[in-house]
A and B are shown apart, each in its own frame.
Chain A
Amino acid sequence: MALLPRNLSFSRQILPIIAVVGVIMAAWFIIGKLPNRDTVEPAEQPPKAVGALANAPRVAGAGIVEPASEVIDIGSALSGLVTDVRVKPGDRVAQGEVLFTVDARAARASLTQAAAAISEARAAISEAMAAERTARQQLDLYRSLTDPAAVSRAEVIRAEGEEAAATSRLGLARARLAATQAAAAAARTEIERLTVRAPIAGEILAVNIRPGEFVATQGGGNTQPFIQMGDTDPLHVRIDIDENEAARVKLGAPAVVSPRGAAELHVNAAFVRAEPQVVPKRSLTNSAAERVDVRVVQLIYALPESDDFRVGQQVDAFIPAKDAPADTEG
């Protein structure tokens, strides 16, 4: 007890000490509980302009990856049942390679029919030739007789008529052969038309038909294309630039492109062309049902060889802008 002064007073000594300790603790609590209002760095990197573009005038746009040939929706010349699909998505095909075939039984039947008609016509020709030969020999025989009384004048006229008839029958038979040959050729074309081939060399992007399905020639509407293909070497990217910004774009300069969700990738894409037409902005910023009154200029850039891009993927792009003399500051 010697530590404590004898006349210890609650109100004079203890209370002030409690007060000081309390204030210190309260201050500690208050300072410790102050909220952190600092900004934080994003956990994942958003798309951003890098390198020389970071501090240079630039124009940003969203784009979509497409084949250099654009996407070709393969159609069918004739409608019918699909009998065979020879390709699958991802296949590389050469120009003229068969993609799928449509049921050709009817066409083949008419080809057989035409072949039969050809043989028939050929037989008719030989028959007509034989008849002509006989008629001509008969006529020659009559004409070689020197004695005019040996055969009557009427007999000669008949022989002459028979020879002329046989000649024209031969001509008819030849014409019929040509007709049947034409019919056979038509049937062969028909069969050929029922085989759908690749119009260009490229990659198969989508196959939406299976053997047994019916393909109709009346496409359009919201029917899916049967097969989609395109020349994916190189891939192009179609970048939409707001028409208000379009004047600032330095046409011909390479663009820096990042795929959505992988903004740390920065790919230099070479300028290909600018579309001559300004079009209403299509759904590029996420929503399929996007309705906008904004018009955009579409710029086409070629992507270098890379596994990071796929057809239809959305990308963010930064394109160098012309130096704006008005904005010299900063």
Chain B
Amino acid sequence: MLTGDAQKFYGLLFGIAFSTLLITQQMTIFVNLVQRGASGVYNAPEAEVWVMDPVSRTTDVSYAMPPTALDKVRSVKGVEWAVPHLRAQATVRTREGDLEGVAVIGVDDATLIGLPERMAKGDKSVLFAPDAVAVDDTGALNFFPSEIDPVGERLELNDQRAVIRGVADAIPSFTSTVVLYTRYSNALNFVPGTRNRLSFVLVGVSEGQTPSDVAARIERETGLKARTRDEFAQAGVNFIIENTGIPTNFGITVFLGFVVGVAIVGLTFSLFIRDNIKQFGALKAIGVTNGKIITMVGAQAGLVGLIGYALGVIGTVLFISAFSSNPFFKGFYIPWQIPLISFVAVVIILAITGLIAIRSVLKTEPASVFR
């Protein structure tokens, strides 16, 4: 049996566990990293449809619209509500005089639609105070050392005073820029003026209407571009995939994981089979069919594969949970599809290596026992 030889058994286990870990963990980080491109969409949990200028592409690559676009969208049937949403870049001067680029997000004045769902510190209503901004939690760490409480700190934005009154529990953006949330009317003052300021209109859909129907109707009636939440999140992800080398990098690593798995497992498997070739011959001599032998080897490979796969997945889970407090890994999760993909990868590795190794056994004649 395979477990009889501890060295080879643990070698196989290690090979499978290692490639599972590599594939699962790298794919997890990849998926989470590119999903950062959609963080702006997920940070505004109320919006079901995003309306923007036809040339806008993602939450961060947008072109402003005239302010009456809001009223145009509100006029469309199936739109339950629509609120203005401003996203712009600004430079901020901290109390120490440092200059830092920030993203200013202006949420609706009355309802604060567009804020992340939860606040890490303070309440959403703090934004009603004059000159109030809320900073996102990862951005706060970029801005202030962790021992300083950002709440109450004063900033200077476009010659205006801004006071941090709360910390939002937000998904960090891809670039980890500091994000300042404030009310729309404040944001207009904080961001240097251009003629049109309204970046997005966030839309809620009436009961009985689907977001995609309403988005299509908005596009037809207003001439603006409307995307459902999922479409727009996907657009953000696609933008990252198209404009960075991340997919190539992670693709190479995942491929390497696969290759390493094939190499280690294949080598160990072949050694194991070659060492036991006499036993297989003996089995054949007493009348065991090739099919039985394949089942035997397959069962053992399955056991090894299962244990190795389990160890790899446990390793990934431990890795992700160990780093979950690190701001870079904030909000990272393991999509359920990824363990399934790595399971398929393990099955393929075992199938390829097992078939290659077992070929010699199938060709062995029972007489080889006596050689």
A interface vs B, CB < 8 Å? 9, 11-12, 15-16, 18-20, 22-23, 25-27, 29-31, 33-35, 37-49, 54-62, 240-242, 244-245, 248, 260-261, 263, 281, 284-287, 289-294, 296, 316, 318, 321, 327, 330
Question: Closest CB of chain B to A297's CB: distance in Å?
Answer: 11
Q: How far is the CA of A296 from the CA of B66 in the complex (A)?
A: 12
Alpha-carbon separation in the docked complex, A242 to B223 (Å): 14
Determine whether the beta carbon of B217 is less than 8 Å from that of A34.
no
Which residues of B have CB within 8 Å of A48? 80-81, 204
Contact, CB under 8 Å: B197 / A33? no
The stretch that binds A, out of B147-155, B160-168, B306-314, B353-361, is B306-314
Q: Given that A46-B81, A327-B221 are known contacts, is A40 also in contact with B317, CB under 8 Å in the complex? A: no
What per-residue 1/0 map shows which CB atoms of B65-85 lie under 8 Å from chain A?
A: 011101111110110111110
Interface size range on B against A: 35 or more
Once the chains bind, are B303 and A245 in contact (CB under 8 Å)?
Answer: no
Tell whether B231 is near chain A: CB-to-CB under 8 Å.
Answer: no
- A22 touching B204, Cβ below 8 Å: no
Determine if B269 is an interface residue (Cβ-Cβ < 8 Å). no
Check: B248 CB closer than 8 A to any chain A CB.
Answer: no
The docked-state distance in angstroms from the alpha carbon of A327 to that of B221 is: 9
Q: Mark B192-215, 1 if CB is under 8 A from A, else 0.
A: 010111100000101000000100
Q: Shortest Cβ distance from B273 into chain A, in angstroms?
A: 19
Cβ–Cβ contact A330 & B217, under 8 A: yes
**In the complex, are the beta carbons of A287 and B188 less than 8 A apart?**
yes
Cβ < 8 Å to A, chain B residues 287-326 = 303, 306-307, 309-311, 313-314, 316-317, 320-321
- Residues of A near B9 (CB, < 8 A) are 11
Q: Provide the residues of chain A in CB contact with B307, threshold 8 Å.
A: 15-16, 18-19
**Which of B68, B81, B317 lies in contact with A42, CB distance below 8 A?**
B81
CA distance A204 to B334 in the complex (A): 65
Q: Decide yes or no whether B129 CB sits under 8 A from chain A.
A: no
B183 nearest in chain A by CB position: A286
Contact with A along B320-348 (1 / 0, CB 8 A): 11000000000101111001000000000
Separation in Å of the B211 CB from the closest CB of chain A?
A: 9
A281 nearest CB neighbor, chain B only:
B68
Stretch at the interface among B39-47, B238-246, B260-268: B39-47
Flag whether B112 is at the interface (Cβ < 8 A).
Answer: yes
- Contact of B108 with A by CB under 8 A: yes
CA distance A217 to B232 in the complex (A): 59
Contact B206 A294 (CB under 8 A): no
CB contact between A22 and one of B81, B314, B333 (< 8 Å): that residue = B314
With CB as the reference atom, state the residue of chain A lying closest to B205.
A39
A245 to B68 Cα, complex, angstroms? 10
* A244 CA to B223 CA, complexed, in Å: 12
Q: Does B331 contact A35, Cβ atoms closer than 8 Å?
A: yes
In whole angstroms, how far apart are the Cα atoms of A25 and B84 in the complex?
44
Given contacts A39-B45, A48-B204, 10 further A-B contacts (CB under 8 A): A22-B310, A23-B309, A30-B317, A33-B320, A46-B83, A46-B108, A242-B72, A245-B68, A281-B68, A294-B68
CB distance from B318 to the nearest CB of A (A): 9
Partner pick for B310 among A23, A38, A40, CB 8 A cutoff = A23
B109 touches A292 (CB 8 A): no
Q: Which residues of A contact B229 (CB under 8 A)?
A: 39
Q: Is A294 touching B6 in the complex (CB atoms < 8 A)?
A: no
Residue B181 is within 8 A (CB to CB) of chain A in the complex = no
A251 to chain B, nearest CB (A): 15
Residues of A within 8 A of B121 (CB): none
CB B245 to nearest CB in A, in angstroms, measures 26
Q: Is B317 touching A285 in the complex (CB atoms < 8 A)?
A: no
Minimum CB–CB distance from A321 to chain B (whole Å) comes to: 7
Q: Are B42 and A37 in contact (CB under 8 A)?
A: yes
Give me 6 A-to-B residue pairs in the complex whose CB atoms sit less than 8 angstroms apart, sorted by A's number.
A23-B313, A244-B72, A261-B109, A261-B110, A263-B110, A291-B193
Q: Does B137 contact A (CB under 8 A)?
A: no
Asked if B112 and A286 make an inter-chain contact with CB atoms under 8 angstroms apart, the answer reads no
Asked if A39 meets B112 with Cβ closer than 8 Å, knowing A11-B6, A30-B317, A47-B81, the reply is no
Contact of B67 among A40, A47, A292, A321 (CB under 8 A): A292
Q: Assess whether B184 is interfacial by the CB under 8 Å rule.
A: yes
Contact partners of B83 in chain A: CB under 8 A? 46
Docked Cα-Cα span, A35 to B233, in Å, equals: 14
Beta-carbon contact of A245 and B71 below 8 Å: yes
Nearest residue (CB) in A for B229 is A39
**Bound complex: CA A292 to CA B64 (Å):** 12
Is B111 a contact partner of A30 (Cβ separation < 8 A)? no
Which residues of A have CB within 8 Å of B3? 9, 11-12
